[in-house]
Amino acid sequence: MKSVAYSTVGCKLNQFETEQMREALEASGYVSSGRGAAADVYIINTCTVTHKSDYRSRQAIRRAVKANPDALIIVTGCYAQRRAQDIAAIPGVDVVVGNAGKAHIADYLDRPKQDGPLIDVSEPDSRTDLCGERHITKFGSYTRAFVKIQDGCDQACSYCAVPSARGRSRSKPPAVVRREVEILAARGYREVVLTGVHLGRYGKDLEPRTGLVPLLEETASVEGLDRVRLSSVEPTDFTDDLIELIADPAAKICPHVHVPLQSGDDEVLRAMGRHYTRDAYAGLIVEIARRIPDCAIGLDVMVGFPGEDERAFRNSFDLIQSLPVTYLHCFSFSRRPGTRAFHLDGTVEPEEKKRRSRALRDLGARKNEDFRKSLVGKDLEALVLSSRCGGLPVALSGNYVRCLIHGAVRPNDLITARVGGVSESGVYAEPIAVRPACARRPFSF
């Protein structure tokens, strides 16, 4: 039996698809290699959202080659989709597979190493639906599971290479999503995170047409599931119904939203191809904070977009400073070949990008600390994870706060935790009520 090691670079969607490949290969008789152990086959699932993502993907490939020069090296994911020839030129790479090839990754594992490199990359739109994708029944050693509900993007932002790597938006039918969630709940998972590229487009391509709110209601009704979490949703896709559903404690949707901003300057937003203004974004965030108590509100912001001068950067900084956001992810602009922004004038120097990134990350750290301080004395619902920090069990609250637990709890316990103080990156809390990890229920495919 051949052993297979996996490396994932990038988003939650990539993490989900790695688990799909792992389960498919284990079902075919391959053995998953433990962390750090040498393997016969290495599968690297790559990302290409920025130059740094490309670099990390190349690093992961070279680490695999170094770990076992005789191993079969298979590279897939978005970087492989867009830059297959570049990857094939890396010494030691045997197979380069596009995103559509992940569904039949086992087909490549018996290829003799000396025959490489093979490139098998087709247009991402060649697979028009997600119905045939394999259900997953576990998610590594995690106590939370990711579920892919959508792929591709119709947004066409001027800086983004993802549409060319993932294709147009397409959705997994609600019945298929529900079945996957039922399987995971039967296996004892108490939280699922719904993932995709453009979640707000969910269901628009299906017949009959549906949307994200009906899917959330359907998913949350699965027996044994305690909570559902959304990954990133575009500001233009937030409806009043979606906010109302998240605000309803009985709906089991985590009070946690991630709403990409990218820029707080209207001219830059127009050049980016983003279809909202700074005022519209601000109004949405204020409304979310007003209607969903103690909601975690995250955002993405980009620095150094072509033409972003100091005034435009200050507009972004001042907007974020004024809003009730609780954390942020800051990225530097990367020129992606094949995008409209690749040809734009107004380059921002690397050192200036670094200065702006530091300023925003410091602001984000202060915002997050203020949010965590505001929770002291309050009770949070938290799911105990499989990790520990400083000898203490770690739990994740519904509003995305890392809780270090002083008390006897076990992984997958769902607890009510009273916040006693702020830690370096989370809070300290004591369990005042515990719903123990539930036994696995039988299920059939």
Pairing relation of β-strands 327-332 and 392-397? unpaired
Element (H, E) at 303: strand 296-303
3-state secondary structure of 211: coil
CATH number of 144-374: 3.80.30.20
When mean pLDDT is compared across 16-25, 108-117, 270-279, 341-350, the lowest value belongs to 108-117
| pLDDT given at position 20 | 93
Q: Are 321 and 365 in contact (CB under 8 A)?
A: no
In this structure, what DSSP letter does residue 96 have? Answer: E
Q: Is 167 left (phi over 0), alpha (psi -120 to 50) or beta?
A: left
| pLDDT given at position 445 | 44
pLDDT in tens, 39-96: 999 999 999 999 999 999 999 999 999 999 999 999 999 999 999 999 999 999 999 9
Distance (Å, whole) CA 235 – CA 150: 17
pLDDT in tens, 257-298: 999 999 999 999 999 999 999 999 999 999 999 999 999 999
Dihedral sign of CA atoms 185, 35, 97, 167 in order = positive
As to burial, measured by CB atoms within 10 angstroms (0-12 exposed, 13-18 middle, 19+ buried), residue 266 is middle
| pLDDT given at position 437 | 82
Q: Are 426 and 376 in contact (CB under 8 A)?
A: no
Q: Which two tokens stand for residue 240?
A: 């009043």
Residue 408: pLDDT above 60? Answer: yes
Helix axes 310-322, 278-291, angle to 10 degrees: 20
Residue in 420, 380, 418 with CA at minimum distance from that of residue 396: 380
**321 to 187, 258, 288, 401: CA distances (angstroms):** 42, 17, 16, 20
pLDDT in tens, 90-131: 999 999 999 999 989 999 998 888 777 999 998 876 455 676
Residue 94 forms beta bridges with which residues? none
Distance (Å, whole) CA 404 – CA 427: 6
| pLDDT given at position 63 | 96
Q: Which two tokens stand for residue 214?
A: 């009906």
Percent of the chain whose pLDDT exceeds 90? 88
CB atoms within 10 A of CB 70: 9
Residue 137: pLDDT above 80? Answer: yes
**Annotated domain spans of the chain:** 3-122, 144-374, 379-435
Q: Are 334 and 52 in contact (CB under 8 A)?
A: yes
How much is the average pLDDT of 354-379?
98
Write down the residue that tokens 């939280």 correspond to: 191
Residue 148: pLDDT above 70? Answer: yes
Distance (Å, whole) CA 306 – CA 127: 34
How much is the average pLDDT of 370-392?
96
How much is the average pLDDT of 362-373?
98
Write down the residue that tokens 């087909």 correspond to: 107
Pairing relation of β-strands 327-332 and 296-303? parallel
**3-122 falls under which CATH superfamily?**
Methylthiotransferase, N-terminal domain (3.40.50.12160)
SS (H, E, C) 98-132: CHHHHHHHHHHCCCCHHHCCEEECCCHHHCCCCCC
**Phi then psi dihedrals of residue 281, to 5 deg:** -65, -45
Percent of the chain whose pLDDT exceeds 70? 96
Indicate the pTM of the whole model.
Answer: 0.93
Fold of domain 379-435: OB fold (Dihydrolipoamide Acetyltransferase, E2P) (2.40.50)
| pLDDT given at position 111 | 85
| pLDDT given at position 322 | 98
Per the prediction, the chain carries an average pLDDT of: 93
